[in-house]
Every structure is written in C-alpha cells, then in structure tokens.
Amino acid sequence: MGQYLLFLRPRRFGKSLWLSTLKNYYDLNKKDVFDRLFADLWIGKNPTPMANQYFVLKWDFSCVKCSGSNEEIEKSLYKHVNARIKRFAFDYAHILKAKIEIDPESGINSFENLLTLISNKTHKLYLFIDEYDNFANELMASKREDEYYKMTDLDGFLKSFFKSLKSATEGMGLDRMFLTGVTPILLNDITSGDNIKTDIHIFAALCGSLRLYRF
C-alpha cells in the first residue's frame, strides 16, 4: 500500500482511536508495554519487524483555530506543531540527548530541526496527522472560500507546509506518514505539492465501525 497513507472516514467513526493504536504499536517508547497492550491480539502474537521501531510524532489539526485571517490560521497551525514537537523532545529526551531548536515563527523550521537531530539515530520518524483537513473544511463550511484558496494556492502556507513534508520523505528521516480526514478535497487542491500519499478509504472496516449508532 505504500508508506504514506491517507484514510478518509466521517467524523466519530474511530479514526483517532485507530491512530492511537498505531502509535502504541510503532512507538519505540512503548516497547516495555507492548505485551500488555497487544499480547492477546493477533497482531501481538504475530508482530511485524517494525513494531516499536519508530520515533512517533502526532499532529491533530482539529486543534488549529480557523477563525481570523490567513496569517492567524498559519500562526495557530505552527503553534500546534511546535507544541507537539516540544512534547516529542520531552518524550525522547533520553535518546536524543540534545535540544530541538524551536522556531516560533515557523513550525516547518522546527520540524526540520527535529529531523536533523534524529538523522544520526538508528530509528526513523513515523508522523501521524489526525483530521488533516479539519480547519480547511471549517473555512469552506463557513463560506470563507477566499481564505481557503489563499492558503492552498501556489504560494499558500498550507500548500508549502505539505510540500515540506514531501521533501522530508526524501532521505531526511521521515519514513512513514498516516493521515486521517473526512474528504479528499484538500488533498486534491494541494496535490501538485503533495502527491505521494495512497488513499486507503476503501478499507472501510479498518476501525471496526461501519455505521454510526445513536443510543
């Protein structure tokens, strides 16, 4: 299927829980609790070679505020990215043994600094992005198409952001990505800058639930 995957499903259908499962499975920091989490499951009895072999970083774009101008949305995105990178540095401090330089003006610069720091390590990075299209969809739903197209055009910050992620897969230490979202619209609008992902929405039962039940 490839190493850079996009999984599309409606909201409240288990995408975030699935990412949590993957994080625990691949995170090298979770090696000591692997049996407790997975021993009774098929995947625990038949682990793949890459189980607990990755640095793991997760971004949740539902945390990005979509109010305000394009510049304010960009700042909110970078604030979230930087906060998660700081948490990454804390979680893996015993392995990194050095600080990750955080650029408050550019989450991408901070991310590249992270990659530079792990470039001489045995383990590579697995990046998870939950709700990759959340704030973009919110803009469209609130009829702020001008702001949406501004961020996704040739010089838009979101298009540049995903282009940088693509570059990071070319020998910079970013080995795998798994993105979740609701629609492919954003991906289509930034596709010239980000054309390496495999859409696996056809795996409808991946998270278990096939329909939303109300009790």
Cβ atoms 152, 70 nearer than 8 A: no
Please report which confidence band the pLDDT of residue 13 belongs to, taking 50, 70 and 90 as the band edges: confident
Which pLDDT score is estimated for 207? 58
Report residue 63: phi and psi, to 5°: -85, -10
- Distances in Å between the alpha carbon of 99 and those of 75, 88, 166? 22, 11, 24
Which pLDDT score is estimated for 199? 54
Which pLDDT score is estimated for 202? 46
Which pLDDT score is estimated for 129? 96
Cβ atoms 207, 43 nearer than 8 A: no
- For the stretch 18-68, pLDDT in tens is 999 999 999 999 999 999 999 999 999 999 999 999 999 999 999 999 888
- For the stretch 148-194, pLDDT in tens is 889 988 889 999 999 899 889 888 899 999 999 988 888 888 765 44
Which pLDDT score is estimated for 116? 96
Q: Cα torsion for 27, 31, 37, 38, to the nearest 10°? A: 90
- For the stretch 64-107, pLDDT in tens is 998 889 999 999 999 999 999 999 999 999 999 999 999 999 99
What pTM value is reported for the model? 0.88
- For the stretch 191-203, pLDDT in tens is 654 455 555 454 5
Which domains, and CATH codes, for the chain? 4-199 (3.40.50)
Helix (H) or strand (E) holding 174: strand 174-181
Helix (H, G, I), strand (E, B) or coil at 142: coil
- For the stretch 126-139, pLDDT in tens is 999 999 999 888 98
